[in-house]
Structure 1
Amino acid sequence: MSVKEQLLDVAEVMVREGGYNHFSFRDLADKVGIKSASVHYHFKTKPDLGTELVERYTRRFLEALDQTATSALPAQTVVQQAFQASLQSSGMMCLCGLLAAEGDGLPPEVRQATRAFFERTQQWLAERIVQQSGIRPEQAAQQALRQMAMLEGAMLLAKIHGDVGLFEQITGGSAE
């Protein structure tokens, strides 16, 4: 694994545990075992790091959805499973959900990348809803938006209550 990938992995955990402003390049360098100047070699500024982190998360999330979408499951279930798996495997919030809550305190480029995660995920879901159900694209977009809001809200409540099972209660049962 490259140093850059290590930095992104550690930064993702740090953001998901404490938020965007929870760490400095020095903290990140200490965790990875490199000098702070080496972090700057890979990421000129913290917003550069944050933007790349969100773009990587978005890319991985959508790739995971694409891999699961080949099943006969409804698209809503595929997205629900992705959120649920993230919460259950790490006990942590969706990176972009956490960043969205911090929206006003984010640099503009990180905020825009976070917004793009939601737009692209909503678009992915809406397109598949249209394919699977044949409803109009406008209706599918609204349905996808509601689904995203419910899933992010369920994650927030499960996290604050320290009860991963609450996600399942809110979302209406197991996504399996």
Structure 2
Amino acid sequence: MSDRRDAILDVAERLIRSHGYSGFSFREVANEVGIKSASVHYHFPTKPDLAAAVAKRYRERFSDALDREEAGGADRVTAWRGLFQKALEHDGLMCLCGILAAEGDSLPAEVATEAYAFLQFGIASLNEAEPGRGVRILSQLEGAMLIARSAGDPRVFIEATEDLVAA
């Protein structure tokens, strides 16, 4: 049962990162997982429930990955940059919460709350490393990812964020 739930979350995450909240449906998720839409509804009664669960899991996974990067010796800002860069190079998709934030007021409240929780986490985390600069660093990372994705070239991200890497 948990494998099916994870598969639903994985597909929904990819679809949201590709097309935003408005660009996916339970039917698409069900088709890709190989189940009926009713099975998606069993795990997530509504689309906002599913998207909020995806965003919460994204934040938790990002936090765990950040901890691993820092345990490996990366400083906080370099770790954030590296995780964004890896995601972009891996699949060319946007940060989940960045793309959700771009949809703004059109999001259901529970989805907007989870997306904003990631952004708040990012700002607080980056402020610990660079006091007073968290929002600027996160904005630079999210913006660089957006431009690189639009250009279809991960090197744009590297160029746009190279000043964040300690010399």
Relative to the length of structure 2, the TM-score reads 0.92
CA distance, structure 1, for counterparts of residue 76 and residue 29 of structure 2: 37
| Structure 1 CA distance for aligned equivalents of residues 92 and 25 of structure 2 | 23
Kindly tell me the number of residue pairs found equivalent between the two proteins: 165
Residue 164 (structure 1) aligns with = 154
Q: What are the residue-to-residue correspondences of 1:67-82 with 2, within 5 Å?
A: 67-82=68-83
Instruction: Give the letter for the 1:58 counterpart.
Output: R
Match of 1:135 in 2: none
Q: CA RMSD in A?
A: 1.7
Q: Which has the larger radius of gyration?
A: 1
Partner residue in 2 for 1:117:
118
1:81–1:175 Cα contact (<8 Å) kept: no
Identity among equivalent positions (%) equals: 44
| Deviation for aligned residue 1:78 | 1.1
Does the CA contact (< 8 Å) of 1:65 and 1:82 recur in 2? yes
Runs ≥4 in structure 1, deviation > 4 angstroms? 173-176
* Structure 1 gaps, min length 5: 131-139
CA distance in 1 between counterparts of 2:113 and 2:100 reads 11
Gaps of 5+ in 2: none
**Partner secondary structure for residue 102 of structure 1:** helix
Aligned twin of 1:33: 34
Equivalent in 130, 136, 140 of residue 146 of structure 1: 136
**Alignment partners' CA distance in 2, 1:69 and 1:103:** 31
- Once the two structures are overlaid, the 10-residue window that deviates more, 65-74 or 51-60, is 65-74
Q: Deviations for 1:59-92, whole angstroms, at most 9, x for unmatched residues?
A: 0001100111124432111111111111111111
Counterpart contact for 1:91–1:159, Cα < 8 Å: yes
After TM superposition, the score normalised by the length of structure 1 is 0.88
